[in-house]
């Protein structure tokens, strides 16, 4: 069985793993054992040694690093590809190169999620298994001690990384960086701040799409916004053909994905090698904190993981993660609701235009949909028509018309807000979204109009301020508006008494 411990001493701790693709399998290594990843040359130097899977050696700074291929050991074909990489595996001061197909990124996993693996009569190359918490894919945790302890396989002393043994004690401390490319730009961010990476994200169009947001992707049973980091950093925009990967950040308010072209490598870098950037040298000195030269890659701008997780714009996108559901359960008005964790406990508000800007508590909005290319006309006065969504027929109303401002024609920015009322969904057409921000002030003393219709019209709506905006906006109650619209239709649909005489 495997002998190398791979989990933290405290079983409650999370462990950060590097995810690899190897011989058609998904495998993982704890970052404590994954020293770095480098391209594999087509031709390797020979070694005066023989062992199953031993390919030869590569030159890595001061090391002549032996490289092994596990495929012959597990009965897989040992065909070589030009884009393969060598993963430098470390254990007790010794290192060995492991041939892999690609790096799939990093993920953070509770130690309690690992399931120990056992065998009798031989030694396993992996010690634990787990299912990725977001993708559900099965992974095997390679046992560094077993890899470096294979009979006849040479290992070498890690003379270039002896400082790792004194990490946290000054100049010898290392930072493990996730190195990525976005178009013509290269960035690095501390791996501990990366929730995971996605090798081929399937970006879909969304009403959130704009210069900063490329759309959404399904991730962890949610639709998560994909943000262009070049726009965020003031470096231009990524071309559509440059989008080929994604880096998932977990913020207090939800997930957000940074669009990438490629995930380049995981690189351990001495802290002293990360050079500070003058504040005037970058458009976002709060996010871009340094520059570092990575071997085989070149200069990379170093992004602050803490600053990314605290950035207000990213927090706004993270707060509109939409749950992916197959359909609402009967009577369940929250199925498919927007997953919101408002900053500092204040409720989040969605602001949008109906000819004038209004605000609504975000928890009232089940989903935000693009304006449909066509609506089914039902010849009902006041309705724009009906759509079929998640196997339900949903009536669509023009919110501006219901609020007494007249019907407004749809534009390129129009969208639908789905609201659940009494077990059914109602869609309101609005002109365009503005922002998602926490509530900062509310006039709870306003008593204008019928208290029973409070918030159902612009005249009876309390006034609120949201985010950093000092404008006073009507706090609309979309559920009350929906009930009024449905009740109005039901009353006109009742059979009328026959005329007398």
Classify the C-alpha dihedral 227-230-231-233 as positive or negative: positive
Rounded Cα gap, residues 201 and 213, in angstroms: 14
Partnered with residue 429 across adjacent β-strands are: 398, 416
Write phi, then psi, for 177 (nearest 5 degrees): -110, 140
- Residue-range domains of the chain with CATH: 14-165 (2.40.50.180), 174-316 (2.40.50.180), 326-492 (2.40.50.180)
Whether residue 396 contacts residue 427, with contact meaning beta carbons closer than 8 Å, is answered with yes
3-state secondary structure of 364: helix
CA distances in angstroms from 267 to 25, 38, 105, 167, listed in the order given: 23, 9, 12, 15
Report which of 401, 397, 386, 499 is spatially closest to residue 458, judged by C-alpha positions.
401
Query: Which of the 8 DSSP states describes residue 235?
Result: S
Indicate the pTM of the whole model: 0.53
pLDDT tens digit at each of 501 positions of the chain: 333 333 433 444 678 888 888 888 899 998 888 887 878 888 889 889 888 889 999 987 778 899 999 888 887 777 777 778 888 998 888 999 999 988 877 888 887 888 988 877 667 888 899 988 777 789 999 999 989 988 888 999 877 554 333 333 344 577 888 899 999 999 999 988 888 777 677 888 876 777 888 988 888 778 899 999 999 999 999 998 999 888 889 888 788 999 999 888 778 888 899 999 998 999 999 999 999 998 778 999 999 999 999 998 898 888 777 766 444 333 333 223 333 333 345 687 888 999 899 999 988 888 888 888 889 988 887 789 999 987 889 999 999 999 988 888 888 888 899 998 888 899 999 998 887 778 888 876 665 556 667 788 888 888 998 877 778 999 999 999 999 888 866 555 444 444 444
Rounded Cα gap, residues 276 and 157, in angstroms: 32
Question: In three state form, how does the secondary structure of 307-357 look?
Answer: HHHHCHHHHHHHCCEEECCCCCCCCCCCCCCEECCCHHHCCEEEEEECCCE
- Gyration radius of the chain over CA positions: 28
Token reading at 421 = 């009322």
Where on the phi/psi map is residue 355: left (φ > 0), alpha (ψ -120 to 50), or beta? left
Rounded Cα gap, residues 429 and 446, in angstroms: 27
Rounded Cα gap, residues 348 and 440, in angstroms: 10
First to last CA, the chain: 97
Within 10 angstroms of residue 361's Cβ, the number of other Cβ atoms is 20
Q: Give DSSP secondary structure letters for 247-310.
A: EEEEETTEEEEEEESEEEEEEEEEGGGSEEPPGGGSS-TTTEEEEEEETTTEEEEEEPHHHHHH
Query: Which of the 8 DSSP states describes residue 445?
Result: T
Environment class of 364 (CB within 10 Å of its CB; exposed 0-12, middle 13-18, buried 19+):
buried
Write phi, then psi, for 29 (nearest 5 degrees): -135, 135
Q: According to the model, what pLDDT value does residue 452 have?
A: 61
Rounded Cα gap, residues 166 and 159, in angstroms: 14
Q: According to the model, what pLDDT value does residue 348 have?
A: 79
Q: Do strands 463-466 and 432-442 pair parallel, antiparallel, or not at all (unpaired)?
A: antiparallel
Report which of 113, 100, 92, 198 is spatially closest to residue 142, judged by C-alpha positions.
100
3-state secondary structure of 211: coil
Alpha helices in 71-183 (DSSP H): 144-148
Helix or strand holding residue 312 (H, E): helix 312-318
Report which of 65, 81, 87 is spatially closest to residue 18, judged by C-alpha positions.
87
Whether residue 480 contacts residue 449, with contact meaning beta carbons closer than 8 Å, is answered with no
CA 494 to chain centre: 50
Within 10 angstroms of residue 84's Cβ, the number of other Cβ atoms is 17
Q: According to the model, what pLDDT value does residue 494 have?
A: 42
Q: According to the model, what pLDDT value does residue 166 have?
A: 34
Whether residue 267 contacts residue 179, with contact meaning beta carbons closer than 8 Å, is answered with yes
Rounded Cα gap, residues 465 and 347, in angstroms: 12
Q: According to the model, what pLDDT value does residue 160 have?
A: 53
Q: Give DSSP secondary structure letters for 377-443.
A: ----TTEEEEEEETTEEEEEEEHHHHTTS------TT-EEEEEEETTEEEEEEESEEEEEEEEEEE-
Helix, strand counts (H, E) of the chain: 6, 35
Report which of 240, 218, 219 is spatially closest to residue 230, judged by C-alpha positions.
240
Scanning the structure block, which residue is given the tokens 């900053």?
A: 343
Rounded Cα gap, residues 303 and 177, in angstroms: 10
């Amino acid at each position: 069985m495997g002998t190398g411990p791979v989990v933290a001493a405290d079983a409650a701790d999370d462990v950060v793993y590097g995810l690899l693709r190897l011989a058609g399998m998904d495998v993982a290594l704890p970052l404590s054992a994954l020293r770095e990843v480098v391209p594999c040359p087509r031709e390797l130097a020979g070694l005066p040694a023989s062992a199953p899977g031993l390919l030869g050696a590569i030159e890595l700074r001061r090391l002549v690093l032996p490289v092994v291929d596990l495929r012959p050991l597990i009965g897989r074909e040992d065909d070589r590809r030009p884009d393969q990489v060598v993963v430098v595996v470390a254990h007790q001061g010794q290192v060995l190169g492991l041939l892999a197909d690609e790096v799939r990124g990093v993920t953070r996993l509770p130690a309690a999620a690992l399931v120990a693996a056992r065998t009798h009569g031989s030694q396993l190359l992996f010690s634990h298994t787990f299912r990725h918490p977001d993708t559900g894919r099965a992974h095997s945790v390679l046992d560094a001690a077993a890899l470096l302890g294979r009979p006849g396989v040479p290992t070498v002393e890690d003379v270039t990384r002896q400082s790792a043994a004194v990490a946290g004690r000054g100049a010898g401390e290392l930072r493990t960086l996730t190195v990525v490319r976005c178009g013509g730009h290269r960035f690095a961010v501390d791996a501990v701040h990366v929730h995971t990476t996605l090798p081929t994200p399937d970006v879909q169009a969304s009403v959130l799409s704009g210069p900063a947001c490329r759309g959404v992707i399904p991730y962890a049973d949610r639709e998560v916004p994909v943000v262009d980091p070049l726009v965020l950093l003031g470096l231009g925009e990524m071309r559509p053909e440059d989008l080929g990967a994604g880096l998932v950040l977990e913020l207090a308010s939800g997930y957000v994905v940074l669009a990438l072209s490629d995930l380049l490598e995981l690189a351990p870098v001495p802290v002293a090698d990360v050079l500070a950037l003058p504040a005037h040298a970058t458009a976002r000195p709060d996010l871009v904190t340094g520059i570092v030269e990575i071997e085989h890659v070149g200069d990379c701008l170093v992004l602050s993981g803490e600053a990314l997780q605290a950035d207000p714009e990213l927090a706004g996108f993270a707060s509109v993660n939409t749950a992916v559901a197959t359909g609402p359960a009967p009577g369940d008005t929250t199925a498919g609701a927007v997953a919101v964790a408002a900053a500092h406990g204040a409720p989040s508000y969605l602001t949008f235009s109906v000819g004038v800007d209004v605000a609504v508590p975000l928890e009232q909005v089940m989903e935000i949909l693009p304006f449909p290319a066509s609506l089914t006309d039902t010849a009902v006065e006041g309705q724009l028509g009906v759509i079929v969504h998640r196997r339900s027929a949903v009536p669509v109303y023009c919110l501006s018309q219901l609020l007494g401002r007249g019907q407004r024609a749809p534009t390129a920015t129009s969208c639908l807000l789905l609201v659940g009322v009494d077990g059914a969904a109602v869609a309101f057409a609005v002109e365009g979204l503005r922002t998602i921000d926490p509530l900062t002030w509310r006039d709870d003393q306003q008593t204008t109009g019928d208290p029973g219709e409070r918030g159902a019209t612009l005249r009876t709506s309390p006034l609120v301020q949201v985010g950093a905006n000092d404008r006073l906006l009507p706090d609309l109650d979309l559920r009350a508006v929906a009930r009024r619209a449905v009740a109005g239709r039901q009353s006109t649909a009742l059979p009328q008494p026959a005329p007398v005489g």
